[in-house]
Chain A
Amino acid sequence: MTVDVEVMKPPRTEVGALGWLRKNLFGTWYDALLTVGSVAFICVVLYGVFNWALNTAKWGVVTTNIKVFMVGRYPYSEVWRIWTSVGLFLVMALVSLVVWKRNVTKARRGVTIAWVIVLLLTIVLLKGFGDLPLIPSVPINIWSGLMLTLALGIVGIVASFPMGVLLALGRRSSLPVIKVFCTTYIEGIRGVPLISVLFMSMLMIPLFLPPSIRLDNVLRAMVAMTLFSAAYVAENVRGGLQAIPEGQYEAGRAVGLNEGLVMVLIVLPQALRAMIPAIVGQFISLYKDTSLVVIVGLLDILGVAKAVTGQREWIGTQKEVFAFAGVIFFVTCSALSYASRRLEKQLGVGER
């Protein structure tokens, strides 16, 4: 026997787009007022922006100087090396995306090793060697533009991550010497602004090194950014480590793992996963802070932007130039946070 139940549909005004509008935007008379007011405001702003961007703005300043923005003073005859590097990176990114999305566990180690090789290869390719006929040396000193920004950012991120993990482990070490050293380092760095670390690296590093070794300015900036960022990464990682219950260490020891393996196989994977948002946040802020190198005389993309607006024929084009630089930063930072969200999702399976 079946029972006929009359299915009553909800009133039309309560569901669907109309219902949503009614509920969220026109619920009360002041909601309606706010809605109308905001829409009007948004329209005015958007009209202004588009009107400027499409009619008034002289985008010629960007298109004419695009090479300067991208690679700065890098010799144009050698720009193919940059394209090759970018191509390598894109191919690697694509391969990683496929491998991780398809969950090809076996290929992961290969891809990771390939990344390291590609990174080293890129450095060699971009820098070149004095005697090689195909890739003559390009002094790192003249790296500038977006290329410098990316180089500082990538080197800073790649180098400060392992250093930060080691510092965090050191700060939790039971050996007093290591603990005191790491704690002093972290607190010392966190106690000074990045600019002063940059100045110090420009002025002090040459004093410590023998006169025969001369580090390029760009290299010194890379060292400074890495040392600075590592302290912050270390604190983030330490936060993650503290969240791991003692029972995890005990379970690891009880099955016979030594302390190092307990750390690498059990504690760090969990701690780092929990800290991905914070660590990526630190990386994004490191990437944006690379623009501070202008102060020590390097031309990152913002430095180039400033120089371009100083050219006589492009006077009065600050808006266009800085809007362009802003868009570039926005796109690259968004890419970083997108990557972090993917990583979180990838590793978040089976979280308790």
Chain B
Amino acid sequence: MENERSEASETREMIICRDVHKWFGDFHVLRGVNLTLTKGEVVVICGPSGSGKSTLIRTINRLEEHQKGDIIVDGIELTHDIRNVHAIRKEIGMVFQHFNLFPHLTALQNVTLAPVYVRRWSKDKAEEVARQLLQRVGIPEQADKFPGQLSGGQQQRVAIARALAMQPKIMFFDEPTSALDPEMIKEVLDVMIELAKGGMTMIVVTHEMGFAREVSNRIIFFDEGDIVEEAPPDRFFTECKEPRTMLFLSQILTT
């Protein structure tokens, strides 16, 4: 009985971080982070810059390497085995602050690149899926333009489509709206809200508290390399106890 339950919960837990440590040289960035995400959960991580929140999600798909602790994504343990790393990266779609689109490829080619070369789809199938995704993020007419010809908001939406093209089970957003002009933030957030409501498991590093309030299941306040406090959004803003959290909230909510 006991075993059965733990097995069942294994499959429902998409991400498990146990006592994850990371150092940049002597600098201790992540100090024993414990985090568990269940399927379909949307978690918003906020915190001052330099607190390690971006590093945490970059560690989970091995853009950074952690030095101590366990990370398990959808039952696959993150080890030095390159096959595990690739398997985990296929599960996780990532959206970056600065979009990081491939400037020498059109929007459509940006989206089809990985499905064709990693998933080995035919070009026709990949293009069909890519066009559907561009439709979903609201820019089907921009398919044949190059990133340099698109606005920031459009570029970020192409980046979301590119991540979705690999049909990931989890999506990471690393400050997806921080580099955008204010009038473009909403178009990107709308896409993310639609994704969250569609049941995608998501970790979003952002200071967009409106987004956090609307769709997140949990808000995590992150500081000095560890989780300080976490709570569902309805309680987070009113019931946080830590002075650091209150200070941070007062800073971002007034501006």
Measured CB to CB, the residues of A under 8 A from B are 245, 247-248, 250-258, 261, 265-266, 269-270, 273, 347, 349-352
Smallest CB gap from B89: residue in A: A256
Contact code string B26-58 (vs A, CB < 8 Å = 1, else 0): 000000000000000000000000000000000
Q: Judging by beta carbons under 8 Å apart, are B103 and A255 in contact?
A: no
* Neighbouring B residues of A248 by C-beta, 8 Å: 100, 102
* Neighbouring B residues of A266 by C-beta, 8 Å: 102
Cα–Cα distance between A349 and B113 once the two chains are bound (Å): 18
* Neighbouring A residues of B101 by C-beta, 8 Å: 251
State which of B14-22, B146-154, B230-238 sits at the interface with chain A: B146-154
9 examples of A-B residue contacts, CB within 8 angstroms? A254-B93, A254-B96, A255-B113, A255-B118, A256-B90, A261-B118, A266-B102, A350-B149, A351-B103
Q: Judging by beta carbons under 8 Å apart, are A254 and B61 in contact?
A: yes
Q: Judging by beta carbons under 8 Å apart, are A255 and B104 in contact?
A: no
Cα–Cα distance between A346 and B86 once the two chains are bound (Å): 34
Cα–Cα distance between A250 and B89 once the two chains are bound (Å): 11
Asked if B162 is at the interface of the complex by the 8 Å CB criterion, the answer is yes
Asked if B145 is at the interface of the complex by the 8 Å CB criterion, the answer is yes
Smallest CB gap from A272: residue in B: B104
Asked if B106 is at the interface of the complex by the 8 Å CB criterion, the answer is yes
Asked if B98 is at the interface of the complex by the 8 Å CB criterion, the answer is yes
Asked if B114 is at the interface of the complex by the 8 Å CB criterion, the answer is yes
Asked if B166 is at the interface of the complex by the 8 Å CB criterion, the answer is yes
Asked if B117 is at the interface of the complex by the 8 Å CB criterion, the answer is yes
Cα–Cα distance between A169 and B100 once the two chains are bound (Å): 22
Question: Considering only CB atoms and an 8 Å cut-off, how many residues of chain B contact the other chain?
Answer: 32
Q: Judging by beta carbons under 8 Å apart, are A250 and B96 in contact?
A: yes
Question: With A247-B100, A251-B96 in contact, is A265–B90 under 8 Å at CB?
Answer: no
Cα–Cα distance between A245 and B98 once the two chains are bound (Å): 11
* Neighbouring B residues of A350 by C-beta, 8 Å: 103-104, 106, 145-149
Q: Judging by beta carbons under 8 Å apart, are B163 and A255 in contact?
A: yes
Cα–Cα distance between A266 and B166 once the two chains are bound (Å): 17
Q: Judging by beta carbons under 8 Å apart, are A257 and B118 in contact?
A: yes
Shortest CB distance A91–B (Å): 30
Q: Judging by beta carbons under 8 Å apart, are A265 and B98 in contact?
A: no
* Neighbouring A residues of B90 by C-beta, 8 Å: 256
- List the 10 shortest-distance A-B pairs measured between CB atoms, nearest first: A350-B146, A251-B100, A352-B148, A255-B114, A254-B94, A247-B100, A352-B103, A256-B118, A256-B89, A256-B90
Cα–Cα distance between A253 and B102 once the two chains are bound (Å): 12
Cα–Cα distance between A42 and B92 once the two chains are bound (Å): 69
